[in-house]
Structure 1
Amino acid sequence: MTLSSPSVNRRTLPLLDTDVLRMFVAIADSGSFTQAARQVYRTPSALSMQVKRLEETLGQALFVREARRVRLTPEGEVLLSYGRRLLKLNEEAVTQFLAPPLEGTVCFGTPDDVGSRILPRVLAQFARSHPAVQVNVVVGRSVDMVELLAQEELDLILLTAGYDALTEERGEIVHSEPLVWAGLEGGSAVRRSPLPLALANHGCAWRSMALSALDQQGLPYRIAYSSENCTAQEAALLSDLAVAPFPHSMVRSPLRKLGAESGLPTLGDYQIMMIRRAGAGAASEALAGHVKDAFQALR
């Protein structure tokens, strides 16, 4: 799907205003003209008028207006992707010329399952925006990330929410998605009893959510495969040795989501949290912003 036609004379194409794009993204994220208006300090009627003009400019309906909220049309989804990228590129360009250059070192910690999905893109974009900042990355268990942050050896960490109440008070939720059961397409592991599981060790939120759900339903299970590394857990699934709780976005062919027909309990949503070290500095805050943007782009 595309918002433009090859027959359009490119020399006459209109330019998209960044302020209007910012309003559009705010509406898309909040699902409400009223909430978005508060964020961008405009009235809902002003936003509605800007969106109407934008739709006329592009010749496409961008939102479906419902009773209590608005949602994007397929064309709106396409524009949202472009809008985020254009706003980010605009920010990088302005930062390059107007913002004082950031220098120093940021120490960033993340579990393997969390960082692998966003880390390459985040580090590449951050290096372009802030070439004088050195980023050191530590990949490990959530429990180790929290300890290193407490010792001030890390400036910024990601971990799965639910680690402990004290940690959650200091953190900020940056991503949420369903946790689902995954197994090999056409595999037999899901039909075995006791149910063979591939899990991380104690302290993993996915493990706790899965075992709690199985216990509540009274399903017998055994830990057939233990590893802190998601790639190793995925290998157990690909070999049809076990099933495992995985974020929905990580279930890729030949693995599949095991639905209600499997008889397995639902697991609910899991959340990713970001925690900053107090006083870590401007470079750390800038990297935190890039991390949040990367997760937002996954939605």
Structure 2
Amino acid sequence: MLSIAFVNVSLLDPELLRTFVSVVDCGSFTVAAGRLSSTQSTVSQKIARLEEQVGHAVLDRSRRDVRLTAAGERLIGYSRRLLALNEEAVEALSRGVVETTIRLGVPEDFAAGRLTGMLVEFTGRHPNLKLEITSGLSRDLRRLFERGELDLGLIKQRKGTEEGVQRWREPLCWVDSRANPAFDRDPVPLVAFPPHGLYRDDMIHTFETLGRSWRIVYSSSSLAGIQAAVADGLGISLLPVRTVLPAHQVLGEEHGLPLIDNMEIATYHRTDAGELITELAHQLSLLI
């Protein structure tokens, strides 16, 4: 029986492992040579080199049929895994394009409807693009962008901020329940975003100015929660015009409520942002 001293080796030759696996799978040096388009002597030489590398005999040559030694039993599983990983790496790199990640932040009321359809279409045109989307309150998105945790942000802010790459007006309106109006109650019940959230201070300031008593009856960071609370008659709210539901009725000057026109939407990204980011920013602008 072949006995070989252990040799310290850091890397196993994939070609030798491929030959080893072929001999085991075929059960014969001769058949393996045919599969590998090689000769039996070359296959034998490669197995001998592998055994020299690992310092153990991996095949029992004392029998007519090919059998694994104890060391060969341990090596065959590693060999298959190493070869599979090698093929996976070659396939991934042969695609020629490295995956690009864009971290996008959008307000919750943009995170549905036309936005998702646009993002599906955009990623379809750029199959090597990976989008990581964060939805939340604009104040939180702004902080994430400032900390460098977003590449592109669609952020609501007050007019006059004069920040952002592009800015657009965000029309607002007062909304009440169509089925169970709440506006005439005393105090006026308000449905609002959390403290320091957009529109909340404007709502409070309006009713303080009108001299009407008010109280916050429902507070949520979820647009869907705000919409549902108003629709069910819990109270009134101030929301973007595009978020009004059929179950809402819009209140205006005929109800003594002023027009609130102090909000805008802005896109944020670095001045040296890449082509994909600027293209996505343009696509976002088409939704506004």
Question: TM-score normalized by structure 1?
Answer: 0.59
Whether 1:276 and 2:269 are equivalent positions in the alignment is yes
- Which residue number in structure 1 is paired with residue 278 of structure 2? 285
Contact 1:109 1:139 in 2 (8 A): yes
Contact 1:149 1:277 in 2 (8 A): no
- Which residue number in structure 2 is paired with residue 154 of structure 1? 150
SS at match of 1:209: helix
Equivalent-residue separation in structure 1 for 2:160 and 2:144 (angstroms): 16
Residues 164, 149 of structure 1: alpha-carbon distance in 2 compared, 3 angstrom cutoff: farther
SS at match of 2:265: strand
Contact 2:159 2:262 in 1 (8 A): no
SS at match of 1:152: coil
Contact 1:127 1:133 in 2 (8 A): yes
- Which residue number in structure 1 is paired with residue 231 of structure 2? 238
- Which residue number in structure 2 is paired with residue 169 of structure 1? 163
Whether 1:226 and 2:222 are equivalent positions in the alignment is no
Amino acid at match of 2:227: E
Report the structure number with the largest CA radius of gyration.
2
Q: What is the deviation of 1:164? A: 8.7
- Which residue number in structure 1 is paired with residue 128 of structure 2? 132
Q: What is the deviation of 1:213? A: 2.4
Equivalent-residue separation in structure 1 for 2:196 and 2:111 (angstroms): 18
Q: What is the deviation of 1:292? A: 1.1
Contact 2:159 2:264 in 1 (8 A): no
Whether 1:122 and 2:154 are equivalent positions in the alignment is no
Deviations 1:135-175 (A, max 9, x none): 1101122222112112211101112122994xx423421x3
SS at match of 1:191: coil
Amino acid at match of 1:187: N
SS at match of 1:288: helix
Deviations 1:215-252 (A, max 9, x none): 22222211111001110011211220111001122112
- Which residue number in structure 2 is paired with residue 144 of structure 1? 140
Q: 2:104 aligns with which of 105, 108, 117?
A: 108
Deviations 1:114-153 (A, max 9, x none): 3335421220221232222111101122222112112211
Amino acid at match of 2:164: R
Q: What is the deviation of 1:290? A: 1.0
Contact 1:214 1:265 in 2 (8 A): no
- Aligned sequence identity (%): 28
SS at match of 1:170: coil
Unaligned runs of 5+ in 2: 1-96
Amino acid at match of 2:121: Q
- Which residue number in structure 2 is paired with residue 198 of structure 1? 191
Q: What is the deviation of 1:206? A: 1.7
Equivalent-residue separation in structure 2 for 1:102 and 1:223 (angstroms): 51
Q: What is the deviation of 1:103? A: 5.0
- Which residue number in structure 2 is paired with residue 294 of structure 1? 287
Q: 1:182 aligns with which of 175, 195, 198?
A: 175
Equivalent-residue separation in structure 1 for 2:192 and 2:105 (angstroms): 21
SS at match of 2:112: helix
SS at match of 1:181: strand
SS at match of 1:289: helix
Contact 1:176 1:271 in 2 (8 A): yes
Query: More helix by proportion, 1 or 2?
Result: 1
Amino acid at match of 1:129: R
Amino acid at match of 2:125: S
Q: What is the deviation of 1:260? A: 2.9
Amino acid at match of 2:100: G
Residues 232, 180 of structure 1: alpha-carbon distance in 2 compared, 3 angstrom cutoff: same
Equivalent-residue separation in structure 2 for 1:208 and 1:277 (angstroms): 30
- Which residue number in structure 2 is paired with residue 258 of structure 1? 251
Amino acid at match of 2:173: V
Equivalent-residue separation in structure 2 for 1:127 and 1:262 (angstroms): 46
Residues 102, 197 of structure 1: alpha-carbon distance in 2 compared, 3 angstrom cutoff: farther
Amino acid at match of 2:268: I
